[in-house]
Copies of this chain bind each other. A is one copy, B any other.
Amino acid sequence: MPIVVTGIDRTAAEIVAGYAGVGVATVHEAQGRKGLLASHMRPIYRPAHIAGPAVTCEVAPGDNWMIHVAVEQCRAGDILVVTPTSPCEDGYFGDLLATSLMSRGVRGLVIDAGVRDAATLTEMGFPVWSRAVYSQGTVKETIANVNRPIVCAGAYVRPGDLIVADDDGVVVVARADAAAILKKSHEREAREEGVRARLAAGELGLDIYGMRDKLAAKGLRYVERDPEV
């Protein structure tokens, strides 16, 4: 039988705070190129950037009942992460649920399904990453788990894990790794800053990264004219 887990351990707020302004691509790289949700998870408006611990929620297809249950489990700073138990693009979430989440200080919604009231959510400034914008209404008949591990858009998410979402999509970081990955993210940003300056000045990645010898060793040849054209 489904359960609601009430006492989850969240990524610490001070760690979350450090992720302000750190992009999804950076976090994904910093943790070894894992944790990305599928590319169909798009923000309903841009630009948008949020970070926070996940409250996880399963929902039956065409049934948003458990989102109401999950709302109660959300605290200020959380991100609600919802996945249907089979693929569905119905409009599970709209401006009323967003009002409820905003009143609790929730930072945003990640849902591998549809949402509605996109114009109002945009005006409210409540960010959502979803598979679709679709008005189709849902019922309230079937229970499912809240705050248990889920697979959302191809990524494994445990309650309390860190979610970062921006214009590029959504990434999850294991709670235990969040501090270390933040450090690595900042290191990566620092490294990239130096490279960016050199590239802006006209230096080539081929030279900065020392790629020419390796390319030649692989057999790449430069020719003035295409021999087959």
Contact = CB atoms under 8 A, between A and B. Distances in A.
Contacts of A47: 119, 122
Interface residues of A, number: 104
Q: How many copies of the shown chain assemble into the complex?
A: 6
B219 A96 contact: no
Interface in A140-163: 140-143, 147-149, 151, 154-156, 158-159
Contacts of A71: 204-206
A99 to B, nearest CB: 5
A142 B136 CA distance: 15
A116 B154 contact: no
A22 interface: no
A180 interface: no
Nearest to A58: B34
A168 B103 contact: no
Contacts of A219: 1-2, 143
Given A62-B61, A88-B86, A117-B168, A147 B226 contact: yes
Interface string A60-78: 1111010011011000000
Given A90-B86, A119-B166, A171-B135, A1 B220 contact: yes
A224 interface: yes
Contact of A142 (B65, B141, B211, B226): B141
A192 B97 CA distance: 11
A38 to B, nearest CB: 7
B215 A135 contact: no
A198 to B, nearest CB: 9
B33 A196 contact: no
A143 B2 contact: no
A100 B202 CA distance: 7
